[in-house]
Every structure is written in structure tokens, then in C-alpha cells.
Chain A
Amino acid sequence: MRHRNYLAPDGSIQRPLPAFASNAKLLIELYRSMVLLRLFDRKAVALQRTGRLGTYAVSLGQEAVSVGIASAMREEDVLLPSYRDNGALLWRGVRLEEILLFWGGDERGNRFSGPVHDFPFCVPVGSQAPHAAGVAYALKLRKQPRVAVCLFGDGATSKGDVYEAMNFAGVHKLPLVFVVANNQWAISVPLRQQTACETLAQKAIAAGFVGEQVDGSDVVAMRAASEEAIVAARDGNGPRFIEAVAYRLGDHTTSDDAARYRPAEEVQAHWKQEPIARLRAYLVAQKMWGKADEEQLATECHARVEAAAERYLATVPRRPETMFDHLYADLPEVYAAQRRELAGEHDA
């Protein structure tokens, strides 16, 4: 199985970088997004710890995966994310406060200002894969040069949903890119108890298309592999499968304590691989980035995150009876009566 990486953990170059890497502005944008995401995660956890946000899934250690893939997409492409893909939503223009709204338990967070056709976070693991196949089928049927991008975790690859979608995508050569963020753990279950396959990428072979392993802590590799796969899919060459080999440095969610099942040494070892320090080392070595830039970025991100948290906390709650408002296009009278009941209006 092909395994792609460009930047070593210390930021040095392993092999010639892809063409886009000569675009300093883009590299810096990728860097800024990952830093913003990490700060945002920290804020979200703080909000959760103080009872102001619900359960939250951090991206710590996986920032390069969703930022890398999203940066290779066009606006008109369709993102079908898993619950851990905040980074991809951010890149696609979803506002920080909208993401907080979702994790804060308010559906309005899914009526976000990202591309109107993008799917919301998927919580039932892997069940978004068949949606992605349906989306991609629609794109192909209408001969639109758009691509569906479906993200999920390594645990999801154990579900029939994912294989059923891959199989169908292969049969119909759909414009669909599957990206598994292999962070080595599905809550407390390690990859080796999830599959006996040497790689997850090889699962694409059974579905009849190309899969590759990518260093998921190397945003240059993630971006390059994603771009290649998306372009191929857009050009009518069918689906691709990317296994982003990464590591979840944090707990599964704020309700989890990974120390119960995971040795600290393992986590420590992976901190040496993490994506943000890696890209920073490269940028610094190339003289594209310095201490002053870093400080300015930190200040900027901090301000953005704080302002978003404030807007989130200031959001006026929905009235209870609005839970009926998007149940059906037109609310059937039986449920309109229930709505009135909830609103405290009494039927004559």
C-alpha cells in the first residue's frame, strides 16, 4: 500500500514537496487554521467543563486531517463529516459560534453558514457513508463536476454501512472521496481489535478502487493526497479512499478519560509527531514564519475564539414549541395541536 508523507516529525523534508507547497500563503493558511482549531478545541473543553457546552469531541492531534481535506475541496463540493471534523467545517466557512451552538445542544448550529448543501456532523458512526454515495450518485446523474467527500474514523470502517457505500461507489465510479481518520482508537478499542487488515487503505481493493495511506499528521501530505483524489474523482475516474494515519492525542470526548485504557507513554510518543509543531518547524526553517507571527496569530485566534464564545453564550434560546418547526415541510394538524399544547395554548 502506498504511504505518503513529505514532512518528517521535525519538519524536515522527506522528499520533494508537491507543487502547491511553493505557495507560502496557502501553507500559512493551513497552519493558521490548525492553530485556530486547537485553540477553539481548548475553549470548547473549558466551556464544557464549566457546564456551558455539552459533550464535545476534540481534534487534538488530528488537525491536519480535516483541514487538509477541506482545503482541497471546492465550495460546490459536498462535505459529509463525522462529529470530529470541526476543522473541515471551519475551513468551509462555518462560524465558530455555530459549531458551539451544535455542541451546546441547539439544532440551529446545523443551519450553518457553510455551503448550504453540506451535511451536518454525523453522530451514528459510519452512517454518513451511504449518504455520500447517494449524493455522489446525484452529482454524477446530473453531470455536475462536483465531488462528495466523506469523513469517518477507523471504528466506522468496521460497519457494513461504510463497505456498502464503498462497494456502490466502486460499481458506479462515483465522484466520491472517502477519508478515514485513523486515529488508532475507537473510544477504548484499538485498531488491532477493529480489523486484522494490515492497513485500512487496502479495504478499497475489495471495492475496486485506489486506496492509499497518508501521514495524517502531515498537512502537506493530507492536502496533496486529497487534492489528487478529488481531482481524479472530478475528472470522472471514480472514487478514492484515503487512510489518514494519525493519532488522537486527547480523550475521545469530554465524557471520556483515555487514561483508563491508554498508556501515557504511547500518548507521549505521539506528541512528537503532532501536525502543528511539524508544520511550524518547516515554516520556521523556510523563514516563512517567526516568533512575532506566532504571537500575533495567538492573539488573533484567542480574540476570535473568545468573541465566538460570547456570541454563542448570548444566543437567545429557542422557544420550546419551535421543536416542531422543522419536523415536516407543513406541520400536520395532529402535531400542530401538540405544538399548541407545548406553547401553553389550549385548544377549544
Chain B
Amino acid sequence: MPEATLVEAINLALARAMEDDPDVVVLGEDVGVNGGVFRATAGLQKRFGAARVLDTPLAELLISGLCVGMAAQGLKPVGEIQFMGFIYPCLDQLVNHASRLRNRTQGRLTCPMVLRTPHGAGIRAPEHHSESTEAMLAHIPGLRVVMPSSPERAYGLLLAAIRDPDPVVFLEPTRLYRAAKGEVEDNGEALPLDAAFVLKEGRDLTLISWGAMLKETMAAAEALSAEGIAAEVIDLATLKPYDEDTVLGSVAKTGRCVIVHEAARTGGFGAEIAATIAERRLPSLLAPVTRVTGYDTVVPMARLEQHYMPSVERIMTAARKVCQFS
């Protein structure tokens, strides 16, 4: 199998989807000739034409709203928002239209669209390029929120998102775009949405994360195993709806859980998971569910951002504390 970076895997999936289905349309700022600022759409316009790989005017609300209209006509639009910091004008369309078109029309109209955007900190980007507000999106009923953490899952989950009959926000961890490499077979096979992936099995503790933070989470798990702590690592992958069964099953086994995300702590998605565990698995718990997160601050610019994001050290400290809790 050929090696691909995460962004190359995205590109492969887009090309595959466009090849397989003439209704798939890619749109966004600079996605055409330029192939996107991260090159996720490189070569697509040449291959599929400017009508299907469409450079839009610089207007994010428009991109999301166009997707709704196209999708209602049966196209499968894949919109790109250049950075997550610019997704907010799309919220009106996501909350008020995309996520509820099926429901408001009782199934008469549907909205099979995907909105892709790079997500998260750690690439020394300018202001407004590093936010991770996935919890805000995961709060919206009727939407799916998906975040891959490896090239293989980026490929399979993006294909699944495009084929899904409902709207999906697809958050791509910017930090992993080129840093993550892996074997990707361009076989057109989708991975399941709404399912978490168990990346490592273990009996002592459950580590749950998503997106770029799995890098640190996996590193922490490896280091912990050298200390004799066997951590199970779960890549949540789909945040909306999230795979409660896998999470609860793992916690029932280990009795301990640390949730890792780079988004700010208050109201972050970790709180949702912790609450579910408290409601449903309290008797299995041997220690309080613990979060390792970004701080409740604005994501700092380049010089401080590494202090904002959870480090391997912070994850290990939390894990040790949870394991020593009696």
C-alpha cells in the first residue's frame, strides 16, 4: 500500500468520490486552480472541470448556503471553509437550515452536504486559524461532526461523509495534514460513521481523544505502558453522534477514564462524555473521570500555543493520578 499524508488522503477520497458519483461537487475559496491553501483539492479541477470544482467568491455564509441549495436538488456538495476560524458565518446555515431541512420538511427535502475545514492549533498560524470549537457544532441536532486522526481514517471517513444522506461537518486536524503519514489504499471503501475506533487495548485506564490530540494521547499511552499502566486508547472520530457503546464498554472494563481534547475546557465535548459516564457507569468507576484540555483562553498565537495544547506530560500526569486514586 502506498504511503500518504493526511491531506493527500483527503485528496484521494475527494477524487474517488467525484469519480464514482457525478453529483459530487467541490466548492470553496481557492479550491480550483490553486487546489486549496493546504492542497487538499489539488488537481481536482483539472480532472473534473471548473463546473464541479468551483472557486467561490470569498463568502463563507454563501458557501454553506450554496451547499444547502445544491443538496436539496440532489447534488452532493463538498464545501471547504479555508480555516475553522472562518466557519462562524456558516453557523446560521448549519443550525437553521442544513441540519434541519429533512426534519422541517418531514423528509421531503434532504441535505446530503459535507462542509470540510482544517481544525485546531499547532501550526504557528495567524490569529483566528487555530480554534477548535467542535463542541459548538456537535451541539446541533441533525448534524454529524466527524474528525479523522490518521490518513487511513481521513480517507475512509470522508468517503462515508460524502455518501451519507445527511449533512456532515468534517474537521481535519491541520497539525496532522502533513505530519501524519500512513498506508492508504485507494479502494473506495468507506469507514463507518458514528463509530469510535479502539487504537490500543488496555485494562487499566481508558484514554479518549479525537483529531490531532491522538498523537499526544498515543505517545502518552506508550510511555505509560513502560511504567506498567495499560491504557486503552479510543479515537472518538465521530463526535455527533458519538459512539457511547464503545466508550461505556471500555470504561466498564477499565474503571478509569481520561478525556483529552485541545478545545477549551468549559462546555467542551469532554464534559459531555464525562456526564454520560457519570450517568451510566458510576458503579464501574474507580476514579473521577478527568479531562486534559486546552485552557479557557483564546488560543494563543505561535509563541505560546504549545503551552495551550495538552502535552504528553499533562496526559501522563492525569493518567497516573487517576490510576493512583483509591
Contacts and interface: CB of A to CB of B under 8 A. Distances in A.
B2 to A, nearest CB: 32
A107 interface: yes
Interface residues of B, number: 46
A136 B69 CA distance: 8
B109 A134 contact: no
Contacts of B165: 328-329
Contact of B57 (A135, A161, A167, A334): A167
Contacts of A135: 69-70, 72-73
Contacts, number: 137
A130 B102 contact: no
Nearest to B70: A134
Contact of A111 (B25, B57, B74, B108): B108
Given A111-B105, A134-B72, A168 B62 contact: yes
Nearest to B62: A164
A119 interface: yes
A332 B64 CA distance: 24
A131 B72 contact: yes
Interface string A27-51: 0000000000000000000000000
Q: Is the interface of A mostly helix, strand, loop or mixed?
A: helix
Contact of A137 (B69, B102, B110, B194): B69
Given A107-B106, A164-B59, A327 B69 contact: no
B105 A107 contact: yes
B242 A133 contact: no
A161 B96 CA distance: 13
Interface in B219-250: 241-242, 244-245
Interface residues of A, number: 44
A139 B74 CA distance: 10
Contacts of B198: none
A171 interface: yes
B69 A127 contact: no
Contacts of A187: none
A328 B142 contact: yes
A165 B141 CA distance: 26
Contacts of B137: none
Contacts of A165: 62, 65
A123 B101 CA distance: 13
A69 B43 CA distance: 43
B318 interface: no
A120 B104 contact: yes
A326 interface: yes
Given A326-B107, A327-B142, 17 more contacts: A110-B104, A110-B105, A111-B105, A111-B106, A124-B97, A127-B96, A130-B66, A134-B71, A137-B66, A148-B69, A160-B59, A160-B61, A164-B57, A168-B66, A325-B107, A329-B164, A332-B241
13 contacts: A111-B107, A117-B72, A119-B109, A120-B105, A131-B66, A134-B71, A135-B73, A138-B74, A164-B65, A165-B62, A167-B57, A167-B59, A325-B107
